[in-house]
A and B are shown apart, each in its own frame.
Chain A
Amino acid sequence: MALRTEELLLNMGPQHPSTHGVLRLVVTLDGENIVDVQPDIGYLHSSVEKMMEYRTYLQNIALVDRGMDYLSAMANEEVWCLATERLAKIEAPERARYIRTIMLELQRISSHLIWLGTFGIDLGAFTAFLWAMRERERIMDLFESATGGRLHHVYFRIGGVYEDLPDGWTDRCATFCDYFMDRLPEYDELLTGNPIFLARTQGVGVLPTAKAIAMGASGPVARASGLAYDVRRAHPYEVYDRLQFDIPVRTEGDCFARYLVRLEEMRQSIRIIRQCLETIPQGEIRAKVAVTLRVPKGEVYARTESPRGDLGIYLISEGKDMPYRVKIRAPAFSNLYALTEMMRGWKVADVIAILGSIDIVLSDVDR
């Protein structure tokens, strides 16, 4: 007589330490094997797109900071300013563009560090978390002295940045680069060569290239699946077209590849920052823009490479001082959709590893 088995429905979250926010996963299990995963999102939905319709272009900078991905506020400000500048035909001065690039790359490192730490925790490596936070603290101090804010900076303005860098900031930033490059090998020691870490990530949660494209994945998730697409290279903004940097791509498509891609991205970010610090010109930091800017009628799609991937804003203006409609193309939203594909066929213990590896921020997913 055959044993009668049934599928089991398991709810993970919305309050679960490894969902990195409020995310509910409805996992269908057959024994220990995952048959299907349906992410249930929306717990953090705040209708940012609607709120943006009722705020001026300047006020929206403060809103995108926290309404979108709160771990990479600079990237959000960047995409918003970029969309507005393109539509209003405003050009940021040279120095401001360099400052922005530096800030964006610092933000990328700090966001990846949080990811690295939490990913480590998910897999039981607590030390990595503390170390990543320690490094990130340095970045936060840099942010704080330049912008006044640690998480939410409201630093970029349409047509430039708010203030010039304080005295000695570039030196401190260069010191940080050296410090961080010294520290990075420690993560290799701690994680990259660790057999437990390898066993839990290597070959786990594979996302094939074709699927990654079809499901709209982007950023490190897609690059770990062999899709060499980085907006900084494909459609350079700010000063990325003058800088030397590599786009790390791996073809395995598993959790470990995503880990390696992000680790290498941090190295490349340092490389970018160093080049910027060498060549940053003096001069104006802000174009003259009215406080209540009226943006000409039109539509524009601006896209940038946020730490999580292809972050875009589709902005429709009707010539008023507030946007008519803003669509935020959130990278984590599409990446999370690919989760089902990655998880199918793995064991329930791998849920946490795979979910951790795609680096979701729920406020980016839900907006």
Chain B
Amino acid sequence: MSWDLAEKLKVRFPEIELFPRPGHQPGTGNGERGTGEPPRGEVAAAAPPAGEGQTSPAVPAKRPAHEAPPAYLVPGAVVPKDKLLEICRVLATDPEFGLSYLSFVTAVDRPEAGEFEVVYHCYSHQSREELALKVRVPRDGASVPSVTSIWDGANWHERETYDLFGIIFEGHPNLRRIMMTDDWIGHPLRKDYVYKDPAWLVEVAKRRKDEIEGLGLGERA
């Protein structure tokens, strides 16, 4: 797991924006980084001693670690929406990248910023490199182009993201709900989603309760 691919992509497409990396100045390559991810994805082998600040309250540490700037332990880049398809095609087909395996597609709701981040995570079985892509789209009428033409496996993942976030994937062959029922109202994984029992269910629950009380079954035996 290294940032090589992300750097390469940045050279090819200067308009993308790499995820911020702690202790990294742009242009110095990605050789020595104090923090960041441990080598070969092992459990925090190269990480600083465990329990730094955030674990033991006994240490009257400097700033609590959870207030530090965000640490991106997955190499990736934020790409503009209109370049997404082009970039993905390059990533999947260019042997220089060879990211032929799409791990997942998902989204993150950021209501304060008023946008969704659509996340793609791809992987190469040859070089064992990974790369995450993020696309920022406004929350209202969110839509991104579908990548099913590039990675076939994106099909269900995009349907799931559509179902749970309500993001439209343009050009998707079969954009229907996949997890929820077809008549479901709302998109559950949005941060502002509030579940409400539908009227008929409230009715049924009330009737059942009455029945049980009438039979005296609600009492403790």
Contacts and interface: CB of A to CB of B under 8 A. Distances in A.
Interface stretch (B7-15, B51-59, B198-206): B51-59
In the complex, the 9 A-B pairs of residues with the closest C-beta atoms, listed nearest first: A216-B153, A298-B71, A235-B41, A297-B70, A319-B66, A300-B73, A294-B66, A45-B179, A42-B179
Interface stretch (A87-95, A119-127, A190-198, A249-257): A87-95
B217 interface: no
Nearest to A158: B55
Interface string A182-223: 000000000000000000000000000001011111000000
Given A42-B180, A91-B47, A312 B103 contact: yes
Interface string A47-84: 10110000000000000000000000000000000100
Contacts of A319: 66-67
B76 to A, nearest CB: 8
A241 B70 contact: no
Contacts of B179: 41-42, 45, 47, 366
Interface residues of B, number: 60
Interface of B: 1, 19, 37-38, 40-45, 47-48, 50-52, 54-57, 64-74, 100-104, 106, 108-109, 119, 121, 125, 128, 130, 132, 151-153, 155-157, 160, 164, 177-181, 188-189, 193
B36 to A, nearest CB: 10
Interface of A: 41-42, 45, 47, 49-50, 82, 85-92, 97, 159, 211, 213-217, 227, 229, 234-238, 241, 287-290, 293-303, 310, 312, 314, 316-317, 319-320, 324-325, 327, 329, 333-334, 337-338, 366
Contacts, number: 175
Contact of A214 (B71, B151, B188): B151
Contact of B44 (A41, A85, A298): A85
A89 B72 contact: no
Given A91-B43, A216-B102, A296 B189 contact: no
Contacts of B104: 312, 314, 327, 329
B50 A91 contact: yes
B68 A227 contact: no
Contact of B72 (A82, A294, A299, A325): A299
A214 B152 contact: yes
Contact of A241 (B42, B109, B125, B180): B42
Most buried by B among A237, A294, A320: A294
A307 to B, nearest CB: 18
A83 B184 CA distance: 32
Given A287-B50, A300-B73, A314-B104, A89 B153 contact: no
A334 B158 CA distance: 12
Contacts of B156: 333-334, 337
Contacts of A299: 19, 70-74, 132
A97 B68 contact: no
A133 to B, nearest CB: 31
Given A45-B179, A49-B189, A215 B153 contact: yes
